[in-house]
């Protein structure tokens, strides 16, 4: 089991503050199971409007935290010195359930598990818990592709027709 911190997370994911929603990977077993951590603090920008006087972490951001943790799991498994850098793109979300509110001071423990992986597609389940109680769960499908294809796609769009 390996763990890693914010430096490696920022190397693997393109997200940055205020949208980076994973603080640390506590356990990773090589791409089939991982536990990540998100510390939920009162100074998160979304709490200003969700909801004044009763701060609750938006469900869509809980799903995003699970998606980022799942992306980290997939990317950390693929990472080698000789391999071209890869992006993960969320393709679908199924079986989403919100079971409890997430409030400032909570720690989201996000467990992700690989369900299947074929070519450039991965299906991953994720469960976020607070104090051992399930807060959010979902099954997600991701596409993985080389980061170099970003430049090719943007060049096609910018070329006058």
Locate all alpha helices (DSSP H) within the chain, ordered by sequence. Answer: 6-12, 59-78, 148-158
* Cα distance between residue 62 and residue 68, in whole Å: 10
Phi-psi region at 31: left, alpha or beta (left = phi > 0; alpha = psi -120 to 50): left
Contact (Cβ atoms closer than 8 angstroms) between residue 125 and residue 113: yes
Dihedral over alpha carbons 62, 68, 74, 77 (to 10 degrees): -120
- Is 15 catalytic? The answer is no
Catalytic choice (50, 100, 113, 117): 50
Just list the catalytic residues: 50
């Amino acid at each position: 089991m390996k763990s890693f911190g914010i430096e490696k997370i920022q190397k693997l994911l393109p997200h940055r503050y205020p949208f980076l929603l994973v603080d640390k990977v506590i356990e990773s077993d090589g791409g089939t199971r991982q536990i990540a951590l998100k510390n939920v603090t009162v100074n998160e920008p979304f709490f200003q409007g969700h909801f004044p006087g009763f701060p609750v972490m938006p469900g869509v951001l809980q799903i995003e935290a699970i998606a980022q943790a799942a992306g980290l799991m997939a990317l950390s498994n693929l990472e080698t010195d000789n391999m071209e850098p890869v992006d993960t793109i969320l393709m679908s979300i199924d079986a989403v359930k919100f079971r409890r509110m997430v409030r400032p001071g909570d720690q989201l423990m996000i467990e992700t598990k690989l369900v299947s992986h074929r070519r450039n597609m991965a299906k991953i389940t994720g469960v976020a818990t607070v104090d051992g109680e399930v807060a959010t769960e979902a099954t997600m499908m991701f596409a993985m592709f080389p980061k170099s294809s970003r430049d090719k796609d943007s060049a096609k769009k910018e070329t006058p027709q």
